[in-house]
Amino acid sequence: MADRWRPAASHVLQVRGLHVYYGQSHALQGVDLTLAQGVHAVVGRNGMGKTTLCNAITGLLRPERGSIRFHGEEITGLAPYRIAARGIGYTPQGRRLWPSLTVEEHFRIAETGGGAWTVERIYETFPRLHERRRNGAGQLSGGEQQMLAIARALLQDPRLLILDEPTEGLAPVVVDQVEALLAELAAERDVAILLIEQNIAVATAISEDVAIMVNGRIGRVLPARRLAADRTLQERLLGVGRHSHEDLAPEDLAPEDLDLPAEPAEAPAAAAAGPDGTPEPQAAEATEAPAEARSSLVYVPPTRWSSAAWTRGEGPQEETPRPPAEAVPARPFDAKPEPLYAEPLTPLDALKGEEVYVAGTFDTKGAELRYLRDRIAAQGLRVRTVDLSTSGQPSSAEVPPHLVAAYHRGGASAVFSDDRGSAVRAMAEAFENWIRRQRGIAGIISAGGSGGTALATPAMRSLPVGIPKVMISTVASGDVGRYVGPTDIMMMYSVTDVQGLNRISKRVLANGANALAGMVRDAGGAAEGRGAKDKPGLGLTMFGVTTQAVQQITAQVRDRYDCLVFHATGTGGRSMEKLAESGMLAAVIDLTTTEVCDMMMGGVFPATEDRFGAFIRNPIPYVGSLGALDMVNFGARDTVPERYRDRRFVEHNPQVTLMRTTAAENARVGDWIAGRLNEMTGPVRVLIPEGGVSALDAPGQPFHDPEADRALFDAFARRFRETGDRRLIRSPHHINDPAFAAAAVAALEEIRPTERMARHAAL
C-alpha cells in the first residue's frame, strides 16, 4: 500500500491531496499537481484558488492536510525562507516591489552570489532594466515592473520559478514582450516554471501541459496544444458558456471533472505527521468508476461551495453530496457560505435611517467628497464619511480605511498591497461586507473615476432597492451595466475629471448632493404617508413570446396587486429577485424562466447560477412555469457560435437571433430548474403548459416541437419533489391561452399571502 504513491525525485514538484482553509472557508480541496520539468501552466477564473496554491507551495500559507515535495523532498510546513533556500523562486501577483528602491537596489538585496543568474546576466536578458537601473520601482511602467519582479526571483538562482499572473494588467504589446521573455526562459531549460495565468493564449504558448483549476481543485490536465486549438473546450472547462454540455463525450472527462475518486496510484488519502513534524503521505484505497457509470453521468452545475458536481443515473437524479472521507472532517463552509448578517436589510430599515454615507478615496478625492458632505449637511441631514483609500495615508473620515479593510475575508493585510488593482478589488469586497452590517442607512453617494466607481458600486448594489444611491463618475457616459447591475443606482457623469473643484465640478457635485438629499427626504415622507389602500407587490416575468399570458394575468389581479413586470433578459430576472430580497414583493408569478436556457447554452440573456436563490432564501408565495424555454437568444446571425450553425433559428430582428432548444437541452434545463425549486421552503405552485411554452412553440409556428417539449416536461416532473406546500399542476393549454392564465391566477389565490398583505398594508 505504501508504494502506491511514491514521490519521484526526478520530478521538480509534486503536490498531493492539498487542503487549505481561510478560517472555515475551504479554499483548496484536495489539489493534485505534478511538474516533471519545463513549464506547467495552471489556468482558471478568479477565486478558484490559484494564488492560494502558490502561497501554500512557497510556505506563505500552511496547509491543513496534504503533501508538497520539491525534487523528492517534503517541504510542507517549512518556513518560506527555508523553501526559498531550497531553490523555489516566487513572483507574486501584484509584483510586490518597493516603490522607493531603485532597480539596482532590488538586485543588491536579492542577489545570492555564486549562482547561474548574476546581475550581469540579468541585464543581458532584460536590457530595458539596465537602462532603468537607477530608477525607482515606482517610476517603472507595468511591464518594466514585471520584468524586475521576475529578475529579482531569478537572482535567487531558483530551480523552480513560480509566476502568479505575470501578465495581469499589462497592455497587449507588453503582454507579448513578457510572453517572449518567458518562452526564452523555458527554452533555456535551466529552471522549471509553474505559471499561474488567466491569459489562455500566454499559458498555452509557452507551457507543455495546462491544468484547469475549478472550485479549489485541479479539474483537468491536458496538453497545451489541444487546449489552444479547441475554443469549445476552453469555453467548457474555463467557465465561458460553461453550461453548454450537450456535446460532452465521456472520453473527454477526467475523474476530477466528475468529482469521482482519482486513479488509485495518484493520490494519498491523508498526510500523517512524520518524526520531524512534517506530513508523510499515506496510501488509501481508491476505485475508478465503472465505464458504464461514467457514461451515464448527469450534470449538476457546480458552485464555489459544492462538493458533488455529478451524480450517476439513467436520467435526472437528485444531487447527493459525497460524504467526506474520515481523514477530512466536515466544515460548515463545505456545504454553503455563512450569511454575512442574520437578516437582510429591508426598505423599512432604510426609511428609518438618519445618516447619509459619503464614501470614496479621501486621499485623492478628499476635496470633492468633503464638498458633497457639506452640501448634504446644509440640507439638514446627518452625514457619515467613509474612506476607501488604499494608500495607507492618514484619514480625516469618520470611518477610516483600516476599519473598512478589516472586513475583508483575508483581513486588512489583504487590502493594503503595492498592486493598485488588487488593492481596489480587495477594498471593494471589504466595503461591501462592511456596509451590509450597517443599519439605518438613509442613502449613499460617492464620486470618483473608474477605480472609485469600482470601489463604491458593489456595496451600493448589495443594498436593497429603495435606498437612494448616487454615483458621480467619469465613466457614467458609457456602458454602466457592470456598475449598476440589477439595482437602482443613479449614475451621473462628472463632465470634468473628479480632480479638484472648479465651476463645472462644483455644479455637478452639488446637483448630485441635492438629488440624493431630495430622495432621502421623499423616502421619509413616503414612509409616513403610506396608507392601508396600498397594494402588495406582485412580480411577473415576461418575454415577447409570453406577453399575452402576462397581460391576461395582470388584468385579473391588478385590483389586488401592484403588478411589477420584468423583462426576462438576465438583468430583468436579477432585478425581480433583488426586489424580492429587499422585501418589496409579496408574491411572484415567475412565468418566463427562459434566462436559464441562455445560461446553459451560452446565450446573451443569461441568468446566474443563483437564479431562484431569492425565493429559496425568502419563502414568499411562488407561482412558476416554463415559459420560453424553447429558445436561446443570440445577437446578429453571424454571432451564433459555430457549434450551433446547423440548428433551427428565427431572426427576431437583425440584432436578435433565436435558436430552438433540443430535447436533450430541454431535459437538462427542466432538471436544473426543478432542483432549484426543490430548495424552496415557502408555498410553491408550478404550472406545466403542455400545449406549448411560447408564441413560437404553438402548432404551426417555427419552434413547434412536441418531442422537445415532452423532454422538458418529463425531466422537470421527474426531478420535482411535491410536498404539502409544493405542488405541480399540469395544464393541457398553451401558455398564452386564457385558460392557462386563469390557472395561474387560481394557483396564486390558493397560496395568496393574506398575512403578508396585511402586514404590508399596516406599514
Maximum distance among all Cα pairs of the chain, rounded to whole angstroms = 86
Task: State the amino acid at position 127 in one-letter form.
Answer: P
Q: Residue 271: what pLDDT?
A: 37
Cβ neighbours around 654 below 10 Å, total:
9
Radius of gyration of the chain (CA): 28
The yes-or-no verdict on residue 295 having pLDDT over 50 is no
The yes-or-no verdict on residue 294 having pLDDT over 80 is no
Residue with cell 511514491: 6
Q: How many CA atoms lie within 13 A of 660 on its CB side?
A: 20
Q: For residue range 573-598, list pLDDT tens digits in order.
A: 988 998 888 788 999 999 999 999 99
Task: Let me know if domain 1-87+159-267 sits in CATH 3.40.50.300.
Answer: yes
Over residues 374-394, the mean pLDDT reads 90
The yes-or-no verdict on residue 655 having pLDDT over 70 is yes
Q: Is 191 left (phi over 0), alpha (psi -120 to 50) or beta?
A: beta
Handedness of CA 241, 243, 249, 250 (dihedral sign): positive
- Same fold yes or no, 347-529 and 537-762: yes
The yes-or-no verdict on residue 64 having pLDDT over 80 is yes
The yes-or-no verdict on residue 495 having pLDDT over 50 is yes
Buried b (16+ CB within 10 A) or exposed e, 169-185: bbeeebbbbbbebbeeb
Cβ neighbours around 570 below 10 Å, total:
21
Q: For residue range 71-109, list pLDDT tens digits in order.
A: 889 999 899 889 988 889 888 887 788 888 898 888 888
Buried b (16+ CB within 10 A) or exposed e, 79-100: eeeebbeebbbbbbbbbbbeee
Q: What is the CATH number of domain 537-762?
A: 3.40.50.12030
The answer to whether residues 307 and 293 touch, using CB atoms and an 8 Å cutoff, is no
pTM of the entire predicted model? 0.47
Distances (CA, A) of 556 to 538, 592, 685, 687: 12, 18, 18, 17
Over residues 353-366, the mean pLDDT reads 90
Give the total residue count for the chain: 763
Between 234 and 160, whose confidence is greater? 160
Q: Residue 258: what pLDDT?
A: 37
Q: With bands split at pLDDT 50, 70 and 90, how would you rate the model's confidence at 439?
A: confident
Beta strands in 38-191 (DSSP E): 39-43, 65-70, 73-74, 88-91, 160-164
Q: What is the mean pLDDT of the chain?
A: 79
Distance CA 173, CA 329 (A): 48
Q: Residue 445: what pLDDT?
A: 96
Which residues, 6+ apart, have CB-to-CB distance to 276 below 8 Å?
Answer: none
Over residues 192-218, the mean pLDDT reads 84
Q: Residue 741: what pLDDT?
A: 96
Find the DSSP H helices in 419-535: 420-436, 450-462, 481-484, 503-529
Lowest mean pLDDT among 180-189, 279-288, 452-461: 279-288
Between 748 and 156, whose confidence is greater? 748
Instruction: Decide which of 3.40.50.12020, 1.10.260.40, 1.10.10.10, 3.30.420.40 is the CATH code for 347-529.
Output: 3.40.50.12020
Q: Residue 221: what pLDDT?
A: 86
Q: For residue range 678-733, list pLDDT tens digits in order.
A: 999 999 999 999 999 999 999 999 999 999 999 999 999 999 999 999 999 999 99
Q: With bands split at pLDDT 50, 70 and 90, how would you rate the model's confidence at 603?
A: very high
Q: Residue 521: what pLDDT?
A: 86
Q: For residue range 496-549, list pLDDT tens digits in order.
A: 877 778 888 899 999 999 999 999 988 755 544 444 347 899 999 999 999 999
The yes-or-no verdict on residue 567 having pLDDT over 50 is yes
Domain segments of the chain as ranges: 1-87+159-267, 95-157, 347-529, 537-762
Lowest mean pLDDT among 167-171, 504-508, 542-546, 605-609: 167-171
